[in-house]
Copies of this chain bind each other. A is one copy, B any other.
Amino acid sequence: MAQKPSIPKGTRDFSPIEVAKRNYIFSTIKSNFEKFGFQPIETPSFENSETLMGKYGEEGDRLIFKILNSGDYLAKTNESYLTNKDSLKLTAQISEKALRYDLTVPFARYVVQHQNEIEFPFKRYQIQPVWRADRPQKGRFREFYQCDADVVGSNSLWQEVELVQLYDSVFSELGLKGVTIKINNRKILSGIAEVIGASDKLIDFTVALDKLDKIGEDGVKKEMLEKGISEEAIAKVQPLFNFTGTISEKIEKLATLLSASQEGMKGVEELQFICDNVMEIGLQTANLDLDVTLARGLNYYTGAIFEVAAPAGVAMGSIGGGGRYDDLTGIFGLKNMSGVGISFGLDRIALVIEELKLFPETVTATSKAMFLNFGNEEAKYAMKAISKLRQHGVKVEMYPDAAKIGKQFQHADKRGIPFAILVGEEEMKNHEFAIKNLATGNQEKVSLDVLLEQLK
């Protein structure tokens, strides 16, 4: 009869300590979002299918989880789809809703739907789970949280400046010193392609260039050649294969390289504004770097592109990313709404903090003290004290049964509860409480007021 319990692949249960650690990261991100003036919104877990489908490319459509219509969902379906077992065509007839794939498209939908209630520019943050029917692998899940902050309705480059500071502020507060915030600009990439006369091959070019770290200069050049980019064109961008120096030096090189491209020079100008101001205002612990191979989100970003790398020495992909997209809401009919935003990769950040042992000791899901249970009379006395302690905010509990004392101590120990409180006949008579430090074994008798002071 009994089922062996399990959960779907790619999903996770989180134990109390795991929840506590994740909440520590969430609340750090959240408090920084709010310090920077972002306001929270939440959208439904599932959207109408037409809101999501077609927004993430063919591959994305495939990875969206679809929800089966309720009731007799086959009643009005096309017979030929059924007899031909045409899964793809049937889907639209038996499924009207789909689980959120990211937070950006629901945000765009939200902005358009509520445009008359929103005061623009609108700085919103959103921390909610998303779902993808991806093949699960290490660090990649089918359910995971996204933490996004976006501004919509202003072209000001001060947003980009602030978003870099926001990254710095969050990672500094998490104790994750030395992350590198990489910045690039879509217009730089377009400019490069334009200069080399391969505008139509921009995606091929940037995808190849993005692999510089992985397959090296020769590998990238080989791939570019295979994709039909000429040797001559590649020669023109030779400086990009050894693109070092300070940000100012790099920007200078780009200004030379792209002098013939109007769009490229616009990108240079934007980068310069952002980088100059970031450097002048100063960062707490993060490094800023201009990375011309950075080409993430190429299909939708139109200006700045961001990506954050974990501190040197930690083998981990990017722990955050973002950029500017000039037409965030056009797909839902609202034109000329520029957006810019960043995202934090919670799961990877948690892994990095764990690896570097940066979780504070105060991150725990455990009570401060446990009262032992010596029977109903003692328990009643204890409960009155517990009630008062809790009203003062102390996390405290009582062992529910009058079990053997050894078993009760063991419970407190296994739970990582630091103090045990003992109340027997004598303590009740003297209005006292014996508090035992379970780490040191020290025990003393104190009044309720002193107990409260010690546990607060």
CA distance A159 to B282 in the complex (A): 54
Of B45, B66, B70, B91, the residue contacting A45 (CB under 8 A) is B45
CA distance A131 to B68 in the complex (A): 13
A13 touches B40 (CB 8 A): no
Q: Is A384 an interface residue (CB 8 A)?
A: yes
Of B74, B87, B154, B282, the residue contacting A87 (CB under 8 A) is B74
A44 touches B396 (CB 8 A): no
Given the interface pairs A2-B331, A67-B67, A380-B280, the reply to whether A44 lies near B143 with Cβ below 8 Å is yes
Note all chain B residues with C-beta closer than 8 A to A398: 158, 162
CB distance from A81 to the nearest CB of B (A): 9
Note all chain B residues with C-beta closer than 8 A to A156: 400-401
Q: Is A8 an interface residue (CB 8 A)?
A: yes
Residue numbers of A with Cβ under 8 A of B are 1-8, 11-16, 19-20, 23, 31-32, 34-37, 39-48, 50-51, 62-63, 65-68, 70-75, 77, 82-83, 85-87, 90-91, 94-97, 99, 109-110, 112-114, 117, 119, 121, 123-124, 129, 131, 133, 143, 151, 154-156, 158-159, 161-162, 165, 169, 277, 280-282, 284, 330-333, 365-367, 370, 373, 379-380, 383-384, 387, 390-391, 393-398, 400-401, 411, 414-415
A-B contacts besides A3-B50, A23-B40, 13 pairs, CB < 8 Å: A2-B332, A6-B48, A7-B113, A8-B44, A8-B96, A13-B42, A14-B42, A15-B41, A35-B396, A74-B82, A277-B380, A280-B380, A282-B384
